[in-house]
Structure 1
């Protein structure tokens, strides 16, 4: 599997901008980027979990099954030949 092709022009441009920063500023920037990545990762995970949804009910499984069976309606009509 080939690695993803990167746009080195953008990376080089940022590297040249960051080369002018002090060591403390670089560390602060790294910390902020790390925080941003954690928040983004957490949001992605929560969106993924919300996509499936969960059925929440105070009823027991037997009560839910009974409700489903009682709510069934048969509309089948048998026609004579």
Structure 2
């Protein structure tokens, strides 16, 4: 499976064009970031979830959960 986990694929990633060039900010954390940075609070955009689900790992039959809610459900859809 490709590694989709980076700031550029997060729904909170906000690119801003400035006179000095591009500036990238995390809307959730409020910090300047870079496209390839990774944080544990990553919440992928809908089109990224669809791409991830197309590339299901045949060994584990792993699929990313469609509904992202911060509850007791982990990334495999199992209840903790």
Using structure 2 for the length normalisation, give the TM-score: 0.21
Q: Which has the higher helix share?
A: 1
Bigger Rg, structure 1 or 2: 1
- Greater relative contact order (CA < 8 Å, ≥ 6 in sequence): 2
